[in-house]
Amino acid sequence: AELTQEELFQQRIDADQRIEPKDWMPEAYRKTLIRQISQHAHSEIVGMLPEGNWITRAPSLKRKSILLAKVQDEAGHGLYLYSAAETLGASRDQMLADLHAGKAKYSSIFNYPTLSWADIGCVGWLVDGAAILNQVPLCRTSYGPYARAMVRVCKEESFHQRQGFEIMQTLCEGAPEQKAMAQEALNRWWWPTLMMFGPKDDESPNTARSMQWRIKRFTNDELRQKFVDMMVPQAEFLGLTVPDAKAKWNETKKGYDFGDVNWEEFWQVVNGNGLCNHDRLQARVDAWEEGAWVREAALAHAKKRAARV
């Protein structure tokens, strides 16, 4: 019997061939990619806010210029990702309108406040660490433009993670007050970073199909396990303790056991009720409104140039 379009599509996926913008694809594949890529883009853009909060208060000129560069990198990632979503037929205006209306999701992690300088260390070390674990496999995701965007993004994220770790190391080798500040920040950021990987596999409606389509290469729980396995030794190296009494090496599974994430908190934050959801969204809406004159001027300029030729 002849294969259906959908079967041919799955064959290409199974043979690890990339899907490109003009190729036939099931509508649900297109939809889930627009969903994931636009959420990812929004996360990068909203993700500038917690760190942006510390640019004016960074402890030295060197730290300030590094942080400024990092936050600019996140803006670049966001714009890359909006472009990747546009190749699937999504309009940028619509994606932004959905974000500003509070309809679009972005990563839960950016709804937590950055209270001390050590939080900037934790964002780089833990949040970017989680981001890299999640995004390195996305360099092999089945949709070409998304996969290619991830290559550069991951290179920059690796630099971000190193700078975060180095902030933590400096604090941990410093005065007792600095080390205490590092531990206190770790206590607050540990569980929210475990939530970045999404709900447990058996409560994740999208995982099975996204794995079949090779959009995702690992499940949420697989990546969360890798994260714990990577981070517990790094915390020990720093002389810090992760705030989980159940975090213990398990020789049989060759990985760490760890405690349960507070899923109630996770869904509260995802559904708009985290500590900073309101402020984050308001900051994006204000930026959009205050930038209206720039968009108008750019359009007027483009029109004038087009009329000149």
In the complex, the residues that contact ligand FAQ under the rule CB under 6 A are: 35-36, 39-40, 43-44, 47, 74, 105, 107-108, 123, 127-128, 131, 134, 195-199, 204-207, 210, 220, 270
Q: Which is nearer to ligand FAQ, 99 or 127 (CB)?
A: 127
The alpha carbon torsion through 200, 204, 209, 211 (nearest 10 deg) reads -30
Q: Which is nearer to ligand FAQ, 36 or 183 (CB)?
A: 36
Q: Which is nearer to ligand FAQ, 159 or 288 (CB)?
A: 159
Query: Do 73 and 156 touch, CB atoms closer than 8 A?
Result: yes
Nearest-approach distance from CB 39 to ligand FAQ, in angstroms: 5
Helix axes 220-238, 176-195, angle to 10 degrees: 170
Q: Which is nearer to ligand FAQ, 114 or 183 (CB)?
A: 114
The alpha carbon torsion through 203, 206, 212, 215 (nearest 10 deg) reads -130
- The closest of 102, 33, 41 to 76, measured between CA atoms, is 41
Distance CA 28, CA 215 (A): 12
Nearest-approach distance from CB 1 to ligand FAQ, in angstroms: 32
Nearest-approach distance from CB 160 to ligand FAQ, in angstroms: 7
Distance CA 142, CA 147 (A): 7
- Cβ burial 105-120 (10 Å sphere, 16+ → b, else e): bbbbbbbbebebbbbb
Q: Which is nearer to ligand FAQ, 132 or 241 (CB)?
A: 132
Q: Residue with structure tokens 């500040």?
A: 181
Nearest-approach distance from CB 57 to ligand FAQ, in angstroms: 17
H or E element in which residue 99 lies:
helix 92-100
- The closest of 263, 257, 196 to 223, measured between CA atoms, is 196
Nearest-approach distance from CB 8 to ligand FAQ, in angstroms: 24
Nearest-approach distance from CB 65 to ligand FAQ, in angstroms: 17
Nearest-approach distance from CB 70 to ligand FAQ, in angstroms: 8
Q: Which is nearer to ligand FAQ, 145 or 198 (CB)?
A: 198
Q: Which is nearer to ligand FAQ, 18 or 217 (CB)?
A: 217
